[in-house]
Chains A and B, each alone.
Chain A
């Protein structure tokens, strides 16, 4: 059973701080990794994707991938109240099927 694990949270950070979200996955054959943001009652929205070990930066977001440790993370710098949402880690399982973690709820306090 291929799995993607995330801490459900909630993770609470003050406005302007760095929010760090973590994810582990079980399938060593996974090649593609994604972070989605989902507001309550809305559909998931793609924030970042990463394929190679290391860091990938896009604005206030940085995705980090460590394939040896089977670990993916998302850093949100200068967190804003509008970043309050559930963040879903997703992994492509090699069969072109994307598996999602249960999500981490993030609260950014103004």
Chain B
């Protein structure tokens, strides 16, 4: 019974490159959430998606960041032209549906290091 799968687990990018982080939700889950955690800080909400639809992207930086959850395949968080401040752990979580009381379950995270 696979949980939320994220890859890559660790990613190193040079400044100006692109980073792509992938997330496959738990079986039976149709909603995906992305969070960012800077070193020694809490989890910051970035975006909430369901298949082919962005529900809430209020936590996404206005530039360079985008997310999608296509009909087929994993959700992808894309960071263009990375800067050192993008270095963080990016956690994906999923839930069965977007309704009150739904518990979200986390993947193991993708650690991005920008050098």
A residues at B contact (CB < 8 Å) = 31-32, 34, 36, 42-46, 49, 51, 88, 92, 94-103
Take A96-B98, A98-B45, A100-B42 as given contacts and tell me if A44 and B103 are in contact as well, using a CB distance cutoff of 8 Å. Answer: no
Interface pairs (25), CB distance under 8 Å: A31-B100, A32-B101, A34-B103, A42-B108, A42-B109, A43-B91, A43-B106, A43-B109, A46-B105, A49-B103, A92-B101, A95-B56, A96-B31, A96-B48, A96-B102, A97-B33, A97-B58, A98-B33, A98-B104, A100-B35, A100-B42, A100-B43, A101-B42, A102-B42, A103-B42
A11 vs B55: C-alpha distance in the bound complex, in angstroms?
37
Contact residues in B for A99 (Cβ distance below 8 Å): 45
A45 vs B104: C-alpha distance in the bound complex, in angstroms?
10
Contact residues in A for B48 (Cβ distance below 8 Å): 96-97
The answer to the question of B1 belonging to the interface, with a C-beta cut-off of 8 Å to chain A, is no
Q: How far is the CB of B58 from chain A (nearest CB, A)?
A: 8
Residue of B nearest to A89 (CB): B42
Contact residues in A for B108 (Cβ distance below 8 Å): 42-43
Residue in A44, A45, A92, A95 whose CB lies within 8 Å of B43: A44
Contact with A along B43-80 (1 / 0, CB 8 A): 11100100000011010000000000000000000000
Contact residues in B for A43 (Cβ distance below 8 Å): 91, 106-109
